[in-house]
Amino acid sequence: MGFCTQCGNSIEATSRFCGKCGSEIKRQEPNQSLQAENKQSTNSSGSRLQDPMHGQNTPKRKYDKKAIGIILAISICLIIYLGSPKKLTEQEYQDLAIEILVKDKLAMDNFSDAIDYSGIYMGLEPEWSEEYKQLIEPAKNLEKDFEDLSDRLEKVKPPEYFVYEHENLLKVLNAHKNMASNIGSYLIAGDEEYMELFEEYENTADEYLDESIFANEKYEEQVMETYRKMTID
């Protein structure tokens, strides 16, 4: 049993028209009725209930302090190990020293070749001119070569037998590096003081090398043999 929405007359549930006023009876489908109820429920409460999965605080991850400490300790040990000089055997150090001396000589050769290629004559007492500036870059390369060789030698730890020779070779390379730096400064401005320093460091390097075991005949032959092989290759 229902009622007409126009005149209020009682009507049968199956009637499509009102028997009194003839108005069409509009009926809601069951799912529409449910939606209407849900909408009414929402409006009455102001908003739907929040999804229980939302709005909850994410629990903070707990870190194991002991594990973190172990990881840090391993990392520090690894850094120290990788940064420590590599200790060489006597044969390994001997081979490295010969290679260093050969490359030192090759660096000198490269600079001499640059002078020859430029066509500039630099006698025993050269007189500076603007032409010398074209040799500035080769002089910088020479200094860089000596610096690289020195850095390489510093990264190894010599065996006890070669400790003194190791220090001597480092002094040779350092003197050669200063020698190259001063010849570069001379080429820039022509200041005779730099040329004097160049000669001084050159002599110092020769003195250190003469004191070294690598200056004896046995090692000199090995250096020259390796030098010939590298220049041929």
> Smallest Cα–Cα separation from 18: which of 9, 27, 26?
9
What CA–CA distances, in Å, run from 30 to 3, 33, 217, 226?
Answer: 18, 5, 112, 100
Backbone CA torsion sign across 196, 202, 203, 205: positive
Tokens (6 digits) for 51: 């999804």
Task: Give me Rg for the CA atoms of the chain.
Answer: 46
Strand pairing partners for 99? none
Report the alpha-carbon distance of residue 41 to residue 44 in Å, rounded: 5
- In this prediction, residue 56 carries a pLDDT of 53
Q: Does the reported pTM lie above 0.75?
A: no
pLDDT tens, residue order, the chain (233 aa): 677 777 777 767 677 777 677 677 666 554 544 454 455 544 444 444 444 444 555 555 555 677 777 776 676 645 544 456 789 999 999 999 999 999 999 999 999 999 999 888 776 666 788 889 999 999 999 999 999 999 999 999 999 999 999 999 999 999 999 999 999 999 998 898 998 999 999 999 999 999 999 989 989 999 999 999 888 76
Helical packing angle, 90-118 and 217-232, nearest 10°? 50
Amino acid, single-letter form, for residue 191: D
- 161-199 core/surface letters (b: 16 or more CB in 10 A; e: else): ebeebbebbbbbbbbbbbbbbbbbbbbeebeeebbebbe
Strand pairing partners for 86? 156
